């Protein structure tokens, strides 16, 4: 995956804010219950969540790298790059509001989440960093179409380290929206969700995917 993948996933995380707030907004709101929002709790929760994203990225990056090393075949590499760039195009279309097709992937993780979710109750209500961080670690495995699509991109990273960095870029992109949701700074969040901003970002992300498909075509011609 070229370096443009980092920017693409950051934009997906940033502009997919409505989805992120919808998925995690309840927990973010719970961190503010019982008093004024505490920055330390929100930062700890989000640090845990992004850590889980990076861990998942490392896992799939290592898996993709091992598959390429074991197979050593060009067709597998082409298939992985094709999947990743088609996902970028789908994410671009999602950001522009043209499709909700990514929702189907959330159903794939429901079985895992049913096993993890009961553990989150041990840390609620989160009144300290020691509770908020593990809560974020667990909540990072919530079934999410955006996360799964980003992981498809990380699969082509070729290594655990690069896969983790790709998902870290995605996670950092999601951070502003969730912090803004926690502190009710709706004005800036509203700007990020402007249709024109989303269309431009969606076109940019989709363009990364199209450019990647051109690279796949060149790879296939080797």
Q: Which two tokens stand for residue 177?
A: 């929206």
Higher pLDDT, 124 or 165: 165
| CA 160 to centroid of chain Cα atoms | 16
* Cis peptide preceding 126, ω within 30 of 0: no
Is residue 185 scored above 90 in pLDDT? no
pTM as predicted: 0.75
pLDDT at 211 (0 to 100) = 72
Q: What are the φ and ψ backbone dihedral angles of 161, each rounded to 5 degrees?
A: -65, -45
Which percentage of the chain shows pLDDT scores above 70? 67
Cβ neighbour number for residue 133 with a 10 Å cutoff: 20
Least-confidence region, from 8-12, 48-52, 103-107: 103-107
pLDDT band at 172 (very low <50, low <70, confident <90, very high): very high
pLDDT confidence of residue 22: 54
pLDDT score at 106: 63
Question: In b/e form, how buried is each residue of 47-65, taking b as 16+ CB within 10 angstroms?
Answer: bbbbbbbbbbbbbbbbebb
Beta carbons of 91 and 103 less than 8 angstroms apart: no
- Look at residue 158 in the predicted model and tell me its pLDDT: 80
- Max Cα separation, the chain? 62
Band the pLDDT of 36: cuts 50, 70, 90.
very low
DSSP strands (E only) in 47-182: none
The rounded percent of the chain whose pLDDT value lies above 90 is 17
* Integer CA distances (angstroms), 81 to 55, 68, 87, 116, 154, in order: 21, 12, 10, 31, 10
């Amino acid at each position: 995956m070229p370096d443009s993948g980092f920017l693409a996933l950051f934009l997906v995380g940033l502009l997919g804010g409505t989805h992120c707030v919808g998925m995690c907004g309840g927990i973010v709101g719970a961190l503010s219950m019982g008093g004024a929002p505490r920055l330390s709790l929100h930062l700890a929760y989000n640090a845990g969540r992004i850590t889980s994203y990076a861990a998942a990225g490392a896992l799939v990056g290592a898996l993709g790298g091992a598959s390429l090393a074991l197979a050593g075949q060009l067709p597998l590499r082409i298939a992985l790059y094709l999947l990743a760039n088609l996902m970028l195009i789908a994410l671009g279309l999602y950001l522009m509001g043209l499709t909700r097709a990514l929702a189907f992937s959330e159903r794939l993780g429901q079985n895992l989440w049913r096993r993890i979710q009961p553990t989150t109750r041990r840390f609620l209500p989160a009144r300290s960093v020691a509770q908020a961080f593990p809560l974020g670690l667990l909540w990072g495995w919530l079934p999410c179409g955006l996360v799964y699509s980003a992981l498809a991109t990380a699969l082509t990273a070729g290594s655990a380290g690069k896969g983790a960095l790709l998902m870290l870029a995605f996670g950092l992109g999601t951070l502003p929206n969730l912090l803004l949701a926690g502190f009710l700074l709706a004005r800036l969040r509203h700007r990020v969700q402007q249709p024109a901003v989303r269309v431009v970002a969606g076109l940019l992300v989709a363009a990364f995917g199209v450019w990647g498909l051109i690279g796949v075509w060149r790879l296939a011609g080797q």
